[in-house]
């Protein structure tokens, strides 16, 4: 069995949408060592979780990119709800932090070295990191569903270290080059945008759809923009936090404060439900509003079970599905931001240096206006 930290060389990801990134097999036969064009330190700082609410800044060796890998100087990392959950509780379901773990998976930076088999021209390019590297050879990968790979190595998912560090080695095919028009923070937040792109694809959002989004957290906010970019004629976003509802309204969505008016009284019959709250009771109530032949995509992670109104599902022939991460989404996400159809800068509510990583993880419980804290490891 391959050791958890060993580099892999994915073979291929089967067929998928037109913007599927090719997963190359690096030749590696004529390039004996990595290519470097600037000085790289021997060690780096990393924010390491040792247990619930035990985060320490440590010195670690800078990784050496293996065959087919690039070394990225990490310049921005978004904090995700999963990072906060690991920080507070040391686990998410079956994923338990049993050894020191570097958090963070929403990352972007600049390529500073190329491993064997990687073109030296990639050095100096700004990239957004897709945080999951699949095996490339299993049935799911070959069918194009690499997000369902059983041997996935996903950043900041135990035991795989994440990106709250100064340098990160990643497979070249999952370091997506971004145009200069994107800020480094936007490049990092292409990861949560990819969640929304994948969900809208699963829901087959199309021109004319009326879309209900429950939960105005970061995913709900980008899902609202993505649904509109996909052609939805009306998007309704629900939440109980006025500040987040205001952000949703600024995207062009209609908003509903369900602490004042229950969703059942909103007289809104969606053709698509994107459930982003992760609250089981909210999911059940929202499904009851979906119109005939509607599509329901469960995105938010909260409870293990959801009260499913089976009669509504059967009588209205609803399609109900889950969504897990994403596949083949980065080119679309980049295009949406580059075109201005989706704005990610409004999500960034707080900015920190690496030494303040603990503050970045705790700010959501301290500041009602917090939406997305971004860590800058080079600061």
* pLDDT tens digits, 287-314: 999 999 999 999 998 777 888 999 999 9
- Residues 45, 158, single domain; the answer is yes
Question: What does the pLDDT read at residue 197?
Answer: 98
Q: Are residues 137 and 180 in the same domain?
A: yes
Q: What is the pLDDT of residue 212?
A: 98
217 and 178 in a common domain: no
Q: What count of other Cβ atoms lies within 10 Å of the Cβ of residue 7?
A: 18
CATH number for the domain spanning 72: value is 3.90.180.10
Instruction: Kindly report each contact of residues 7-10 with a partner whose C-beta sits within 8 Å and lies 24 or more positions away, as own/partner.
Output: 7/66, 7/67, 7/68, 7/69, 7/169, 8/133, 8/135, 8/136, 8/153, 8/171, 9/67, 9/68, 9/136, 10/133, 10/134, 10/135, 10/136, 10/137, 10/141, 10/171, 10/173
Q: 170 in a domain, yes or no?
A: yes
Same domain, 179 and 44: yes
Quick one: pLDDT at residue 37?
Answer: 62
Reported as a single tens digit per residue, the pLDDT across 91-104 is: 998 899 999 999 99
Residues 318 and 350 in one domain: no
Give the domain extent around 297: 196-322
Asked if residue 25 is part of any domain, the answer here is no
Q: Are residues 45 and 150 in the same domain?
A: yes
> What is the pLDDT, as a whole number, of residue 182?
98
- In the 8-state DSSP scheme, what is residue 357? H
Same-domain status, 52 and 150 = yes
Question: pTM for the complete prediction?
Answer: 0.90
Q: Is residue 30 part of a domain?
A: no
- What integer is the mean pLDDT of 281-286? 94
pLDDT of residue 93: 84
- Judged by phi (left if over 0) then psi (alpha if -120 to 50, else beta), residue 208 lies in left
257 and 154 in a single domain? The answer is: no
Classified as helix, coil or strand, 347 is: helix
pLDDT reported for residue 365: 81
Same domain as 228, residue 174: no
Residue 224 lies in a domain: yes
CA distances from 347 to 230, 299, 373 (A): 20, 18, 8
- pLDDT, residue 301, reads 81
Using the predicted structure, report yes or no on whether residue 88 has a pLDDT greater than 60: yes
For the chain, how many residues are written? 379
267 domain residue, yes or no: yes
Query: In the predicted model, what is the mean pLDDT of residues 153-180?
Result: 98
**Residue 61 placed within a domain:** yes
Question: Percent of the chain, pLDDT > 90?
Answer: 85
Q: Does 61 share its domain with 182? A: yes
Say whether both 168 and 200 belong to one domain: no
Judgement on whether residues 154 and 205 belong to the same structural domain of the protein = no
Number of domains in the chain: 2
Residue 38: band (very low, low, confident or very high) from pLDDT cuts 50, 70, 90: low
CATH number, domain of 230, equals 3.40.50.720
Residue 29 lies in a domain: no
Give the residue carrying structure tokens 């459930």.
275
Judge whether 208 lies within some domain: yes
Q: What is the pLDDT of residues 321-346, one digit of tens each?
A: 999 999 999 999 999 999 999 999 98
- Cα–Cα dist 116/70, whole Å: 9
């Amino acid at each position: 069995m391959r050791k958890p930290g060993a580099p892999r060389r994915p073979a291929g990801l089967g067929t998928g949408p037109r913007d599927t990134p090719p997963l190359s097999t690096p030749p590696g036969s004529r390039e004996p060592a990595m290519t470097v064009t600037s000085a790289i330190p021997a060690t780096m700082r990393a924010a390491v979780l040792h247990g619930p609410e035990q985060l320490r800044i440590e010195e670690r060796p800078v990784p050496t990119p293996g065959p087919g890998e690039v070394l990225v100087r990490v310049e921005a990392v978004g904090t995700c709800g999963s990072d906060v959950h690991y920080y507070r509780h040391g686990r998410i379901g079956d994923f338990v932090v049993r050894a020191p773990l570097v958090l963070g998976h929403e990352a972007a930076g600049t390529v500073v070295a190329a491993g064997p088999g990687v073109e030296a021209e990639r050095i100096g390019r700004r990239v957004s990191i897709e945080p999951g590297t699949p095996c490339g050879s299993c049935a799911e990968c070959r069918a194009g569903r690499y997000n369902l790979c059983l041997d996935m190595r996903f950043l900041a998912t135990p035991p795989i270290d994440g990106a709250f560090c100064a340098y990160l080695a990643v497979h070249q095919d999952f370091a997506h080059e971004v145009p200069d028009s994107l800020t480094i923070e936007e490049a990092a937040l292409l990861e949560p945008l990819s969640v929304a792109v994948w969900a809208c694809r699963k829901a087959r959002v199309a021109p004319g759809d009326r879309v209900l989004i429950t939960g105005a957290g970061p995913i709900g906010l980008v899902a609202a923009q993505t649904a509109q970019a996909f052609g939805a004629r009306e998007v309704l976003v629900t939440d109980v936090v006025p500040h987040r509802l205001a952000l949703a309204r600024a995207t062009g969505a209609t908003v509903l404060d369900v602490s004042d008016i229950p969703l059942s009284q909103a007289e809104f019959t969606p053709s698509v439900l994107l459930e982003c709250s992760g609250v089981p009771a909210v999911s059940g109530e929202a499904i009851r509003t979906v119109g005939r032949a509607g599509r329901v995509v469960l995105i938010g992670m909260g409870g293990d079970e959801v009260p499913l109104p089976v009669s509504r599902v059967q009588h209205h022939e609803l399609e109900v599905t889950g969504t897990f991460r994403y596949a083949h989404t980065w080119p679309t996400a980049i295009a949406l931001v580059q075109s201005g159809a989706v704005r990610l800068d409004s999500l960034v509510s707080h900015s920190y240096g690496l030494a303040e990583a603990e503050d970045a993880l705790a700010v959501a419980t301290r500041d009602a206006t917090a939406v997305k804290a971004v860590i800058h490891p080079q600061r």
